[in-house]
Amino acid sequence: MSDRISPVEGPGDWVKSERQHERERLRRSHGRRSASIATVSTVVFLVLVVWGVTSSPGWPRVAATFLDGEEFVHALPDVLSGFVLNIKMFLITEVLVLAVGLLVALARGIRTPAFFPIRALATLYTDIFRGVPTILLILLVGFGLPALRLQGIPTDLATLGIIALTLSYGAYVAEVFRSGIESIHPSQVAAARSLGLSHAKTMRFVVLPQATRRVVPPLLNDFVSLQKDTALVAVIGPLEALRMAQIHVAHSFKYSPYLASALLFLLLTIPLARFTDHLAARTRRRRGA
Amino acid sequence: MSLLSIDGVWKHFHGQSVLRGIDLEVDAHEVVSLIGASGSGKSTLLRCVNLLETVDDGVILLDGEDITDPRIDVDDVRKRIGIVFQSFNLFPHMTVLDNITLAPRQVHRVAKAQAEEQAHELLVRFGLEGKARAFPDQLSGGQQQRVAIIRALATQPRLMLLDEVTSALDPQLVVEVLAIIRELKDSGMTMVLTTHEMSFCRDISDTVCFLDGGVLVEKGPPEQLFDAPEHPRTKEFLRSVVHSGRF
Ligand SMILES: Nc1ncnc2c1ncn2[C@@H]1O[C@H](COP(=O)(O)OP(=O)(O)OP(=O)(O)O)[C@@H](O)[C@H]1O
Ligand SMILES: [Mg+2]
C-alpha cells in the first residue's frame, strides 16, 4: 500500500550497564527485606490470636467439645458421605442456574411488544427471588411443593433443595448476566445491526460472547456462595454433610463433627475462590496493559 | 432515479433540532462528502440513512423504496448499506476473518468456504493478507480501519457510508485508508462520507455538501465549493479550516 518508512539502524547488542546491575541488586535486597517483615508480623499476629483465644475462660470447655479428635474421626466418614450429596446438589444446581440466569437475562432484554408478558415475568422473577432469604425459600419449596400433591412434583428432599437453590441463585445470576450484557458498548450493537444482523443474532454472535467473558469472575463468586449454601438444604432434612454432622452431635454432644463439615466445605470453596481471584487478576492485567 | 434520495429530513435530540430539513440526492457511482463543523449533524445524517436513528420528519428513498416507512424490514435495508464508523467497532472477540465473514454467513447465508474465499480476496486486495487470523487488538489503527471497511464491503452493499474513517488515525496511517477509499471509488462504489481531510475530500468527491447547524447550506462540485463558495457561512468555515492547517 503506502511506502513505509524503513527502520533506523539501531545500536549493537545490549550489554547490561553497571548502573542497571546496581539497580537490580537494590531491588532484590528490598524484596528480601519486605518478605522478612511480612513473616515476622504474621508470626506475631498468630501468636497473639492463639494466646488470646486459649487464655479465654471458656477455652477448656470449647476445646473439649469442638476439638475432640476421637469424635472427629468417628463422624468423618458419615459427614464425608453426606458431603458427596452436597457436591451433587451443587453441580446440578450450577448447570440449572446458568441456564435459568441466562434465559431470564435475555428475556429482560426483549423489546418486541408481543413478548411483553415474558419480559414482565422475568422482571418479577428476579425481584421476588432475590428478595426472599434462601433458607426461607428452601422451607417453602421443601414443605410447600409436595403439599400441593400435584402429579409429577418431586418428593425427594435433595431434588426439592435443588429447585429452591436454583430459583434463588437463578435470580442473582440473571442479574450478573444482565449487567454483563449491558456493559458491552452500544457501538458494538450498532456495528452488528448495521451489518444487517437481527437482534437475536447480534446477541448470539456479538454481545453474549463478550458479556460471558466479563461475567466469569462474578459468576464464580456466586458459585462459591452456592457451594456453601447447599448446607442450608439441611433444614428440610436430606442427609447431606451438615445434617449428618447434626445427627452425630445429637448423639455425642461433641461439636467436632461440625468442624469436620466446615473443613470439607473449605476444601471445596477455597480453591474455587483462589481461581476466581486468579481470573479477575488476569482480566485486570489484560485491560490495564 | 437517484440511488439515495433524502427529502426534507428532520431529526431532534431532546428538543434540539440536529437536522433541519435536509435534501440530498446521490446517484449511483457518485461520491458525496459532507463537511461542516463538529456538531453540525454529519454523523446523525449517516445514522439516519442506515436507520440507526429514526427520522422525525421527511423521507429517505433507497433505490426508490421508502426506507423511512415504519413497516420496512430494517435488517433488509441494512443489508444493502455498508457503514464504517470513526472508531472501528470491530468485534474484539473475533479474528479478522470472522469479523469479515460474520454478516455474509449469518445474514446473506453464504457458505463458509465461499465467504472465507471472498474475505481472503478482499484482504489481499487491501494489503492485509496474512492478517486473517489476527485479533483486532493485534492490528494497528490503520489496519483495523481497513478491516472495518472490508467488513462493510463483504456484504456487497449498494451504498457505503463512511463516517470520519480517518480521524482516529495517525497521519501516516491515514494514507493507507484513503488509498482504499480511492480504490473503492474507482471500482464504482456509491459513497457518502464525512471527513475533516479537506484535500482528500476535494480530490475524491463528485459533490461536496456543507452542513451548518443541521442545515445543508451549500453543495456543489468540489472546485466550486472550495474555490468559489457562495454562502458566507461556507467561506467562514473554509477559512477556519485553512487556519487550523487542515488544508
Ligand atoms: N444520541 C444522541 N443523543 C443526544 N444528542 C445527540 C445524539 N447524537 C448526536 N447528538 C447531538 O447532535 C448534534 C450533531 O451530532 P453529530 O454527531 O451528527 O455531529 P457531527 O457533525 O458528526 O460532528 P463531528 O464532526 O464532531 O463528528 C450534536 O450536537 C450532538 O451533541
Ligand atoms: Mg461525527
Tell me: the pLDDT tens digits for A73-105? Answer: 888 888 888 889 889 999 999 999 999 999 999
Q: Provide the ipTM.
A: 0.82
pLDDT at site B203: 86
Locus of grid cell 474421626: A73
Grid cell digits, residue B33: 462528502
CB-nearest partner of A194 from B78, B106, B176: B78
Contact B151, B173 (CB under 8 A): no
pLDDT at site A1: 45
Q: What share of chain A in percent tops pLDDT 70?
A: 95
B194 touches chain A (CB under 8 A): no
Range of the domain at A15: 6-54
Q: Are residues A222 and A182 in the same domain?
A: yes
Instruction: Specify if A284 maps to a domain.
Output: yes
A197 touches chain B (CB under 8 A): yes
CB-based burial, B89-119: b 16+ in 10 Å, e otherwise:
bbbebbbbbbbbbbbbbbbeebeeeebbebb
Q: How confident is the model at residue A180 (pLDDT cuts 50, 70, 90)?
A: very high
pLDDT at site B117: 94
pLDDT at site B245: 65
**Would the CB of B38 count as within 6 Å of ligand 1?**
yes
Q: Are residues A46 and A93 in the same domain?
A: no
Q: Are residues A243 and A134 in the same domain?
A: yes
Picking from B78, B100, B165 by the largest number of A CB atoms within 10 A of its own CB, the best residue to mutate is B78
pLDDT at site B232: 92
pLDDT at site B45: 95
Contact B82, B153 (CB under 8 A): yes
Q: How far apart are CA A19 and CA A238, in angstroms?
A: 68
Q: Are residues A74 and A199 in the same domain?
A: yes
Sequence letter at residue B64:
G
Grid cell digits, residue A42: 504474621
Q: Is the pLDDT of residue A65 over 90?
A: no
Q: Which atom of ligand 1 sits closest to the CA of residue B45?
A: 18
Domain boundaries, chain B: 4-86+160-243
Instruction: Specify if A162 maps to a domain.
Output: yes
If phi over 0 gives left and psi between -120 and 50 gives alpha, with beta otherwise, what is residue B28?
Answer: beta
CATH class of residue range B4-86+160-243: alpha beta
pTM for the model: 0.76
**Would the CB of B43 count as within 6 Å of ligand 1?**
yes
- The alpha carbon dihedral of B76, B77, B83, B88 has a sign of negative
Partner-chain contact A2 B81, CB within 8 Å? no
Nearest ligand to the CA atom of A187: 1
- The alpha carbon dihedral of A174, A180, A186, A192 has a sign of negative
Instruction: Specify if A59 maps to a domain.
Output: no
Cα B43 to ligand 2 centre (Å): 4
Q: Are residues A264 and A221 in the same domain?
A: yes
Grid cell digits, residue A223: 458459585
Q: At what angle do helices A256-288 and A69-109 cross, to 10 degrees?
A: 40
CB-nearest partner of A194 from B50, B126, B127: B50
Q: What's the whole-number average pLDDT of chain A?
A: 86
Of A78-87, A150-159, A167-176, B233-242, the poorest mean pLDDT is in: A150-159
Q: Are residues A76 and A147 in the same domain?
A: yes
- Extended strands (E) in B97-181: 159-163
Contact B222, B201 (CB under 8 A): yes
Grid cell digits, residue B15: 428538543
**Which residues in chain B touch residue A194, judged by CB atoms under 8 angstroms apart?**
50, 52, 78, 81-83
Q: Are residues A91 and A234 in the same domain?
A: yes
Q: Are residues A48 and A107 in the same domain?
A: no
Q: How far is CA B186 from the centre of its chain?
A: 16
Contacts of residue A226, defined as CB under 8 A and 6 or more positions apart, other chains included, come to A90, A93, A94, A97, A165, A169
Partner-chain contact A5 B172, CB within 8 Å? yes
Q: Are residues A50 and A116 in the same domain?
A: no
Domain finish residue from A14, A31, A54: A54
pLDDT at site A3: 45
Q: Are residues A10 and A121 in the same domain?
A: no
**Would the CB of B172 count as within 6 Å of ligand 1?**
no
Q: How far apart are CA B63 and CA B104, in angstroms?
A: 21
Q: What are phi and psi of B60, to 5 degrees?
A: -125, 125
DSSP, collapsed to helix, strand or coil, labels residue B242 as helix
B172 touches chain A (CB under 8 A): yes
* pLDDT, tens only, A33-56: 988 998 999 999 999 999 988 888
Contacts of residue B234, defined as CB under 8 A and 6 or more positions apart, other chains included, come to B210, B212, B217, B218, B225
Cα B99 to ligand 2 centre (Å): 24
Q: How far apart are CA A224 and CA A229, in angstroms?
A: 9
Q: Are residues A191 and A73 in the same domain?
A: yes
Instruction: Specify if A61 maps to a domain.
Output: no
Q: How confident is the model at residue A2 (pLDDT cuts 50, 70, 90)?
A: very low
DSSP, collapsed to helix, strand or coil, labels residue B129 as coil
B127 touches chain A (CB under 8 A): yes
pLDDT at site A179: 93
Cα A160 to ligand 1 centre (Å): 55
* pLDDT, tens only, A182-239: 999 988 999 999 998 988 999 999 999 999 888 988 898 899 899 889 888 888 878 7
Grid cell digits, residue A101: 440466569
- Count structural domains, chain A: 2
Residues of chain B with confidence (pLDDT) below 50: none
**Which residues in chain B touch residue A201, judged by CB atoms under 8 angstroms apart?**
106-107
pLDDT at site A6: 59
Contact B160, B82 (CB under 8 A): yes
Instruction: Specify if A199 maps to a domain.
Output: yes
Q: Are residues A74 and A40 in the same domain?
A: no
Could you tell me how many CB contacts below 8 A there are between chain A and chain B? Answer: 66
**Would the CB of B214 count as within 6 Å of ligand 1?**
no
Partner-chain contact A210 B92, CB within 8 Å? yes
Picking from A111, A184, A195, A207 by the largest number of B CB atoms within 10 A of its own CB, the best residue to mutate is A195
- SS (HEC) of chain A: CCCCCCCCCCCCCCCCCHHHHHHHHHHHHHHHHHHHHHHHHHHHHHHHHHHHHHCCCCHHHHHHHHCCHHHHHHHHHHHHHHHHHHHHHHHHHHHHHHHHHHHHHHHHHCCCHHHHHHHHHHHHHHHHHHHCCHHHHHHHHHHHHHHCCCCCCCCCHHHHHHHHHHHHHHHHHHHHHHHHHHHCCHHHHHHHHHCCCCHHHHHHHHHHHHHHHHHHHHHHHHHHHHHHHHHHHHHHCCCCHHHHHHHHHHHHCCCHHHHHHHHHHHHHHHHHHHHHHHHHHHHHHHHHC
Sequence letter at residue A94:
E
pLDDT at site A8: 64
